[in-house]
Structure 1
């Protein structure tokens, strides 16, 4: 059986198909070369090819036998060439490709003129996906009608200005996915343009300039039918409300108003699995109440994105024109004409897996977010500009693994509010939470999540952390302390025995102490890996930091910035890189070596002088020293013999010496 061989021949400057490759290759990539045309039998040698990519060449013409012999080919890509949909394709060019499943001939058309499609696709009976340009006033031939297995139709390079009811009338009826994205011109669409696609499951009109009303009017053929995804530019519910929809993406569409509960009048809420509404401009107010009530009817909902809704600034100052005693003046009034707002209590349906409610600017938007015996895995409640932060309540069993509370004052989230213990929580993000306020107290802030593996407390202006601030995080592997004010690495990090990744970038570190370096090396030895990020710290290269500089050069720990950081070289009064300094110590640290030798010389001189002085004293006072030791030895001996003498010396002489 043949193995899987690939030939990646990009950027080789080929002007023709290379003939010196192994004949049994299954994938060939000739992108970014200089092929101007594909001649006869150019690929006949490579009869086992299944995947052929010839993107980014200058191909203008395809010979009738350009792909002769490629009966096993499944994927053919000719994107970003100069192939004209009406002139470049010989009528027999695809005859050998009976097994072709994916054909990409998009991003070729450079002209906006009227062009009938003369692409000979009739024989591509197994084609499932076609990616082609959509030219202005496009007309498709009957050959497209024969593509009975075509399910995905993509128009990514779109020059069209008008779409008529007859534009796609020659397309096969089995199309399930229709993509018409990034249309550069404003597109006028007739209401029946999608009628030929009766089995459509996914409609993608992302980044296309289509009027809101027209975009939703074209959905009328799918009333009371099922559709997996609708990705549109705008909003209006006349036809869409009757369709069974799996994924609804209304993000970033400048929707400013939802009238008469129109959004919550879908006839098949049980079909929804994913609803994305972020980055619009409609008010939350009472509409949000209706939405979250309607949410409970979505029995199969899995993902909700309800973010980036700027209602207005919290405390606006209004101007009021006041006339009193025929005198007119302008007064500033705070909060005048403020509408009554209903604080919302959101009970998250138990089947939801992903919920994001972030970047809200509203007045009392949410009172409480509650889960009861929930399957929720991912929860983002971040960057609220509201008067109160919602109470987070977890009742019964919870499965939460990811919690993001960024942008919320830590005094509200941790100091005043008590969060239930989340034993399954693996990741918690507390960016921009003013955490320094809490870390000055004796509060243990993470007692509610004892099993976390990833902790992000970046952007918090922290300069020190008390030993008991985090508690025992025995499973912590990744700690992000970046964008803070640390001048030294906090000792508390050495209590996290499982940590393998530490981000200290964008702080005020000038060096790292010996104890921390030894701990980092021990963590690397214990776990086999350790990642340390130190970029954008005001590191200093000096005599006092030579140990740290040598460590950077020799450590096996994985460092960011290619293990090379800018530092202030004190001896040169300028900026250099740690690698340059560490590799040439004698050049940069000559003063440090001089100091060492001076200290050594002084030490030797003092030692010699001391020795000479001691020897001179011993020589000059040798008899006194000897007599001192003799006298003390004798007294010690007398004491041992229990003898007492009146005199120190006894002199004996003979009688004949008396006269003398």
Structure 2
């Protein structure tokens, strides 16, 4: 593909991108349709230009066009001959222009488009119409299958030729300006329609139940992001009672989304609201983000045709199925949903841990809004039901209490259920210690990522276990001995905080021996035991993004079938020879190997030159097609691996001279090291013998210490700057003669700032954190804490000292909670008395045994 210019013998060079029979002219600031393109093109993309008008017969030479994109221009008029010659065109897209229904469309403008199958003229309504407006003429589009357009208030479809569109099956109304949906609003639509969408309706205040009476073949009804009551939307289902529909979807149907804080009003479903839906044989029901907080008995889950239901999605609401009569209802109806294959109740925040603090942080003028929406404003005039949980123990329901915890919850699944998604289910309720899933032999997909209910009980399957996909991301603690994972092929454990268990537990991932794809991103891992993956012989794809690895761990070597490795977002500076040889071996054995290394900064020095050469000579596939990664030179400047490889000799020619210089210096040092002590021993052998004799009975202790550049690395926020500069620093450096590393003084700002922090902490004997109220706002504060943990466990850092200065408990960084036993905590008084200085001095000079 030519990215900038394309030349043919018959055509001059053109600014558009031309590939085979497709032309891309997007973002070229074109004012007119170009007339010098190849005649045989079938796709022309002119989006995001400044075309104002389509001149007559401009497309005459492009008679083979099948797809024409004119979206995001400034077209305001379509003359009669605008599309002459396009008899083969199948798709025409004119969204986001200035086409006014009353003046922009000539009567026969679409007449030449005999084979058009898809027409999109949405998002052109730039004004409010005060009178009835006739829609364009579509009667000549006999092959049209999909039509997308704006919907004005009080539309007129009488003379637009809908009755002649015998092949149309789908209409999308977007940018909807209706105020009322009346029984005759859609009466002129083609009766062969199978699918209709109402999207972004701004102000629908009421509906009449027979509005869709003429659409007797409708199978899919989707209402999305519309300012109308959910009760009104459900009322539109009346004409479809005792009929079959494939999809009924109501998403973000709630007037509250038009409020200043974009929060839906609380909705309680009643039997009356659901009466029409209950009499429809539907395959898929989607009620998402509608503000539902509760439902009456025999309302939401009850249906006359339960055998029709295949998919239910209730995500983005705020109600629980685990209370009172609803659990009983769920238990009974699950036996009737014999064909249900998918159930989704994700993003369901039943309660928030910090709701009181959130209310306090709202401005005074928002408090009334907050109360009315969250606490009072329900569609039937009652507050949302409380979240008292009722669980099942041996099939007897009781209320769980702290005094008598319920041990086991039984959940009977529909017999054909294959997929459960319960992501981001947030509630302060406990579910007991065990959940037993009955009739789960067909369950293959279980997604419980970020499931927060105070505890995650053990999940047991009664019968055969066929689960292949499990997502337990964001769940901090759970039992790895659960049989749930026995046959899983894909397992996601992102952001679980499992770093401690992984590094301390033998054969940690042995509980997923059948896994083929594993994602353990974001778990603060920096090293692995050699036997971590010893039992994961079938693992093919391993994702370890956003951890703290500075090298590829040798724990990967036992994974024989691995052919995909994602190490993006770590702190790798190179790949050593052992792991490079292993990667090449995997590539040769498996035929292909992909490795992702983006968002690491490598080193381009004499020590890593073989690694740089390997990147461009290996046959392994990388996430950067050009293998262009960031690279730091020995002088600290940042370049790319491509530039270094292209000028390999210039960058590394000094390395050979450096090697011989090191050999010479090494020989000289060895000679001096051997000859000088030998000469001293020969000349002073009797004096040395006598000295050792005198000291023979004395105990000699030698303290071996690592050489550090700094005695202290100091981490502080802006609030502590004056105290550090004028009080702490003079005391430590001038009086105690210790060398400190300060961010504002010793670390220069640049692209490699994060590496400078890492190097400074590694070169420091101790680290001191000055914790004040604004420490959590410090940009690099959490990173310095995580790096301090790493250096401490790697035995490079001797002491971590935390000085707190009038900081409340809630502002204390939670990152310290896992290393409190290794932290020296000093609570500094406001006056800073001698006891504080003495405690700090002892902490710095006294060893921790």
TM-score (norm 2): 0.62
1:308 aligns with 2:347: yes
1:223 to 215, 225, 241: 241
**Kept in 2: contact 1:314–1:387 (CA 8 A):** no
CA spacing shift, 1:308–1:16, aligned 2, 3 Å: closer
CA–CA distance in 2 between the matches of 1:472 and 1:356? 29
Give distance in 1, aligned partners of 2:593 and 2:542. Answer: 12
Alignment of 1:453-532 (within 5 A): 453-532=516-595
What is the match of residue 384 of structure 1?
451
SS at 1:257 equivalent: strand
User: In structure 2, what is the Cα distance between the partners aligned to 1:144 and 1:564?
Assistant: 55
Cα displacement (A) at 1:479? 0.9
- Summarize deviations over 1:95-147 as a string: whole Å, max 9, x none: 33333332222222211124512411223333222111112332222333333
* 1:521 counterpart SS class: helix
**Whole-angstrom distance in 2 between the partners of 1:50 and 1:596:** 65
Give matches, 1:128-167, under 5 Å.
128-142=145-159, 143-167=161-185
Determine the C-alpha separation between the residues in 2 that align with 1:40 and 1:574.
58
Residue 357, structure 1, aligned to residue 373, structure 2: no
Residues of 2 paired with 1:49 and 1:579: CA distance? 41
Q: Give 1:483 shift.
A: 2.7
Q: Between 375-384 and 197-206, report the one with greater CA deviation.
A: 375-384
CA deviations 1:262-320 (Å, max 9, x no partner) are 11222211111111111211134323553354233212212111222223368999xxx
CA distance in 1, matches of 2:137, 2:249: 31
Moved more, 308-317 or 370-379: 308-317
2:279 aligns with: 242
Residue number in structure 1 paired with 2:189:
171
1:112 aligns with 2:128: yes
What is the alpha-carbon distance in structure 1 between the residues aligned to residue 663 and residue 462 of structure 2?
71
1:17-41 CA-partner distances (Å, limit 9, x unpaired): 5555555544444444454333444
1:209 aligns to 2:272 (yes or no): no
User: Residue by residue, what CA displacement relative to the aligned partner does 1:580-623 show, whole Å, maximum 9, x if unpaired?
Assistant: 556666776788555423234458989999xxxxxxxxxxxxxx
1:427 aligns with 2:490: yes
Residues 85, 511 of structure 1: alpha-carbon distance in 2 compared, 3 angstrom cutoff: same
What SS class does the counterpart of residue 93 from structure 1 fall into? coil
Deviation digits for residues 617-636 of structure 1 (CA, Å, limit 9, x no counterpart)? xxxxxxxxxxxxxxxxxxxx
1:349–1:374 CA contact under 8 A, matched in 2: no
After superposition, the Cα gap between the structure-2 partners of 1:311 and 1:60, relative to the gap in structure 1 and judged at 3 Å, is closer
Verify the 8 A CA contact 1:564 1:579 in the aligned structure 2: yes
2:80 alignment partner in structure 1:
64
Question: What is the aligned partner in structure 2 of residue 638 from structure 1?
Answer: none
1:8 aligns with 2:8: no
Structure 2 vs 1, CA of residues 289 and 591 (structure 1 numbering), >3 Å: closer, same or farther?
Answer: farther
Instruction: Please identify, of 165-174 and 560-569, the stretch whose mean Cα deviation from structure 2 is larger.
Output: 560-569
Offset, 1:91? 2.1
Q: Of residues 95, 103, 106 in structure 2, which corresponds to 1:90?
A: 106
Q: Secondary structure at the match of 1:192?
A: coil
- Tell me the SS of whatever aligns to 2:611: helix
Per the alignment, do residues 117 and 393 of structure 1 end up closer, same or farther by CA in structure 2, a change over 3 Å counting? same
Shift of 1:516: 0.9
The answer to whether structure 1 residue 277 and structure 2 residue 344 are counterparts is: no
The structural deviation recorded for 1:545 is 3.4
Equivalents in 1 of 2:32, 2:349: separation in Å? 57
Do the aligned partners of residues 22 and 598 (structure 1) sit closer, same or farther apart at CA in structure 2, a change above 3 Å counting?
closer
Tell me the distance in 2 between the aligned counterparts of 1:490 and 1:97: 62
Q: What runs of 5+ residues in structure 1 fail to find an aligned partner?
A: 318-336, 610-660
SS at match of 1:525: helix
Matches within 5 A, 1:257-276: 257-276=294-313
What SS class does the counterpart of residue 518 from structure 1 fall into?
Answer: helix
Q: Please give the secondary structure, in 2, of the residue aligned with 1:156.
A: strand
Quick one: structure 1 residues 431 and 165, their matched pair in 2 at CA, closer, same or farther if it must change by over 3 Å? same
Asked if the contact 2:135–2:156 (Cα under 8 Å) also holds between the matched residues in 1, the reply is no
For residues 380-414 of structure 1, give each alpha carbon's deviation from its aligned partner in whole angstroms, at most 9, with x where no partner exists. Answer: 1332323442333345544432111222345x330
> Which protein has the bigger helix share?
2
User: Which residue is equivalent to 1:413?
Assistant: 479
Q: Secondary structure at the match of 1:250?
A: strand
**Counterpart in 1 of 2:828?**
none
- Against the structure 1 CA distance between its residues 443 and 396, is the aligned structure 2 distance closer, same or farther, given a 3 Å change threshold? farther
Matches of 2:592 and 2:127, distance apart in 1: 55
CA contact (8 A) 1:284 1:365 kept: no
The separation in 1 between residues aligned to 2:623 and 2:30, in whole angstroms, is 38
Q: Is the 8 A contact 1:314 1:386 kept in 2?
A: no
Q: Distance in 1 between matches of 2:649 and 2:30?
A: 51
Residues 260-659 of structure 1 mapped to structure 2, 5 A cutoff: 260-286=297-323, 287-291=326-330, 293-312=332-351, 339=388, 341-343=390-392, 344-362=409-427, 363-365=429-431, 367-370=434-437, 372=439, 374-410=441-477, 412-415=478-481, 417-419=482-484, 421-422=486-487, 425-537=488-600, 539-560=602-623, 563-566=627-630, 569=633, 571-573=634-636, 577-579=640-642, 595-601=658-664
Q: Quick check: 1:373–1:397 contact (8 Å CA) kept in 2? A: yes
Q: Find the partner of 1:127 among 140, 144, 161.
A: 144
1:413 match: secondary structure = coil
2:424 is paired with a residue whose SS is strand
Q: Secondary structure at the match of 2:451?
A: strand
- Deviation (angstroms), 1:253: 1.5
Match of 1:649 in 2: none
Judged with a 3 Å threshold, the aligned counterparts in structure 2 of structure 1 residues 341 and 519 are, in CA distance, closer, same or farther, namely same
Question: Partner residue of 2:92?
Answer: 76
Does structure 2 conserve the Cα–Cα contact (< 8 Å) formed by 1:131 and 1:154? Answer: yes
CA distance in 2, matches of 1:486, 1:131: 50
The two structures have a TM-score, normalised by structure 1, of 0.78
Q: Evaluate the alpha carbon distance shift between residue 508 and residue 93 of structure 1 in structure 2; reply closer, same or farther with a 3 A threshold.
A: closer
Change (3 A) 1:42 1:459: closer
For residue 244 of structure 1, report the CA deviation from its aligned partner. Answer: 1.5
8 Å CA contact 1:116, 1:138 repeated in 2: yes
Cα distance, 1:536 vs structure 2: 4.1
The answer to whether the 8 Å contact 1:5/1:26 transfers is no
How far off is 1:496 after superposition?
1.1
Alpha carbons 1:439, 1:465 under 8 Å: kept: yes
Aligned to 1:321: none
Matches of 1:33 and 1:407 in 2, distance apart?
44
Q: Is the 8 A contact 1:541 1:549 kept in 2?
A: yes
Shift of residue 61, structure 1, vs aligned partner: 2.4
Q: CA separation of 1:446/1:87 partners in 2, compared to 1, >3 Å: closer, same or farther?
A: same
Distance 2:20 2:584 in 1: 42
